[in-house]
């Protein structure tokens, strides 16, 4: 994927998250010099399966598992220092050397303990089905220009001022939510002061580091979190996360020019999942939904919640391809469909008697949408050991060809298992 001309590449989820971004980043990071997260926070759960061990990364870029790859957390991320050091310590305990190759933007906003309390208690978070990681409240403070950034840890007076105001607001919100939890200024500051020396030790001007890396010809991979349909602007608002998950967010969230990004890889499952509330037009009926959930082990990597499962939605991915300007698709979890007798791909929605082939902005319309399906024969053969596109059963190839045509984007990878080696492709239009 990285070659003489493609040096900066972004990996984005093109559905509702959990598409297998962690696996693709891990595969691509083999040839990367830098892997950088640009938005979201510990709401992400990116699974990487190496040998017999499966690991879930929440804030640290998945590239950390490749020795020598430098990793960074960009300014667009809302960073939870407690979770970060917990993750770092776990990696180090497993013999993975993190020191000297993980950086955090000094401009990144901090997720405070009180953001998590508010996220867990608020009725609006419950209605959306958030991960409870404090993401929405932290981005709210950022946009309201009262957030705490990594660099504020260098200024004790300013830190106390910001935290005092933050705690007051949080306690007011907790009281309104009927929660008995309360945050404390002194406890919050004490916890931050304990982590500050470690955090400031890895704080950097990440935009400048990545800019210099790009200028020197390094291979730079930008790792998206969540998915395009959870984007604050382009997703199924208000059932979204609070950041720009799409390719545009990669440039602002790292601090580089959008003109630097040469390839956008959209990761999609061969079907659809969503965790949390909000419309999912192709959601399967029971008992098929539970069957697909069991086949795909569709339980959240962050919260353990059961993921809702649906047929592949061509309207969604076509939209994601447009909004992100996808160069290529990585279709994951094809193997999960191996035993099904027949499969469907959604090509449009019928809403109030009218056919829509472009994704509607109105969540009410999406809730009323009746999917229009094309049906495909199942291949009913194992695909996990296939490594060449031409060795896939012809029914599987027909299914993938239709996805490619509908989304008007070449398939660059097909993933047929959780492991690193269970992958087909590496060139656009394999
Ligand atoms: P991410 O958030 O996009 O990184 O995705 P998650 O890690 O949350 O969820 C994807 C899940 O699917 C993980 O458990 C992966 O190990 C698994 N997975 C990824 N690719 C494949 C695949 O091709 N086949 C199968 N069976 N599982 C896969
Ligand atoms: P990765 O990176 C799937 C969902 C939540 C909820 C909504 C808002 O692993 O793909 P938030 O906590 O962000 O305020 O929750 O977004 N959500 C995800 N769904 N994968 C994720 O991350 C997600 N991160 C958030 O379930 O519906
Ligand atoms: Mg995930």
Which ligand has the minimum distance to the alpha carbon of residue 118? 2
| CA of 429 relative to ligand 3 center, distance in Å | 26
Which ligand has the minimum distance to the alpha carbon of residue 238? 2
Average pLDDT along the chain, 430 residues, taken 10 residues at a time: 94 98 97 98 96 93 96 98 96 93 98 98 95 98 98 98 98 97 98 97 98 98 98 98 98 97 98 97 97 96 90 98 98 98 98 97 97 98 97 98 97 96 71
CA nearest to 151, candidates 116, 192, 185, 211 = 192
219 forms beta bridges with none
Lateral strand order in the sheet of 263-269: 203-204, 102-105, 70-73, 34-37, 220-223, 8-13, 263-269, 328-332, 411-415, 423-425
The pLDDT, as a whole number, for residue 429 is 39
Token pair, residue 126, equals 């419950």
Q: Is 21 in the pocket of ligand 1 (CB under 6 A)?
A: yes
The pLDDT, as a whole number, for residue 51 is 85
DSSP state of 232: T
| CA of 381 relative to ligand 1 center, distance in Å | 20
Q: Is 142 in the pocket of ligand 1 (CB under 6 A)?
A: no
Token pair, residue 164, equals 């005092």
Evaluated on CA atoms 112, 113, 114, 120, the torsion sign reads: positive
DSSP state of 17: S
Of these residues, 46, 58, 66, 109, which one is catalytic?
46
Token pair, residue 193, equals 């002061």
Spatial separation of the C-alpha atoms in residues 295 and 281, rounded to whole Å: 21
Length of the chain: 430
Write down the residue that tokens 């959601």 correspond to.
Answer: 283
Q: Is 133 in the pocket of ligand 2 (CB under 6 A)?
A: yes
Q: Is 270 in the pocket of ligand 2 (CB under 6 A)?
A: no
Contact 69, 34 (CB under 8 A): yes
Spatial separation of the C-alpha atoms in residues 203 and 210, rounded to whole Å: 14
The pLDDT, as a whole number, for residue 52 is 87
The pLDDT, as a whole number, for residue 303 is 82
Q: How are beta strands 70-73 and 220-223 bridged, if at all? A: unpaired
1 forms beta bridges with none
Give the residue, by CA position, lying nearest to ligand 1 atom 28: 418
Which ligand has the minimum distance to the alpha carbon of residue 20? 1
109 is catalytic: no
33 is catalytic: no
């Amino acid at each position: 994927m990285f070659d003489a001309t493609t040096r900066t590449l972004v990996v984005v989820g093109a559905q509702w998250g959990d598409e297998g971004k962690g696996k693709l980043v891990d595969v691509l990071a083999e040839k990367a010099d830098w892997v950088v997260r640009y938005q979201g926070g510990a709401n992400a759960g990116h699974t990487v399966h190496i040998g017999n061990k499966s690991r879930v990364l929440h804030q640290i870029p998945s590239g950390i598992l490749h020795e020598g790859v430098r990793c960074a957390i960009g300014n667009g991320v809302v960073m939870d220092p407690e979770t970060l050091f917990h993750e770092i310590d776990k990696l180090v305990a497993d013999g993975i050397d993190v020191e000297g190759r993980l950086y955090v933007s000094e401009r990144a906003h901090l997720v405070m303990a009180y953001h998590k309390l508010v996220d867990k208690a608020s009725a609006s978070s419950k209605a959306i089905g958030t991960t409870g990681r404090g993401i929405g409240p932290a981005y709210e403070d950022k946009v309201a220009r009262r957030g705490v950034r990594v660099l504020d840890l260098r200024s004790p007076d300013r830190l106390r001022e910001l935290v005092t105001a933050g705690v007051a607001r949080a306690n007011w919100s907790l009281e309104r939510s009927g929660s008995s939890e309360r945050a404390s200024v002194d406890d919050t500051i004490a916890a931050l002061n304990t982590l500050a020396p470690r955090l400031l030790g890895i704080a950097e001007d990440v935009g400048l580091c990545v800019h210099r890396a790009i200028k020197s010809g390094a291979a730079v991979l930008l790792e998206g979190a969540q998915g395009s349909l959870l984007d604050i602007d382009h997703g199924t608002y208000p059932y979204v996360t609070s950041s720009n998950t799409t390719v545009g967010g990669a440039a602002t969230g790292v601090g580089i020019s959008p003109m630097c990004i040469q390839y956008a890889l959209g990761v999609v499952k061969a079907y659809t999942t969503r965790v949390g509330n909000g419309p999912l037009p192709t959601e399967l009926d029971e008992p098929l939904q539970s069957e697909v959930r069991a086949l795909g082990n569709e339980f959240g990597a962050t919260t353990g919640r059961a993921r809702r499962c649906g047929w592949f939605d061509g309207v969604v991915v076509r939209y994601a391809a447009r909004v992100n300007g996808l160069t290529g698709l990585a279709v994951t979890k094809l193997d999960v469909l191996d035993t099904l007798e027949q499969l469907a791909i959604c090509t449009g929605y019928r809403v109030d008697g009218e056919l829509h082939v472009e994704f509607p902005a109105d969540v009410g319309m999406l809730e009323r949408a009746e999917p229009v399906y094309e049906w495909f024969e199942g291949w009913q053969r194992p695909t996990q050991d296939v490594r060449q596109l031409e060795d896939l059963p012809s029914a599987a190839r027909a299914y993938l060809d239709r996805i490619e045509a509908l989304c008007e984007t070449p398939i660059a990878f097909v993933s047929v298992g959780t492991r690193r080696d269970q992958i087909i492709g590496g060139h656009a239009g394999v």
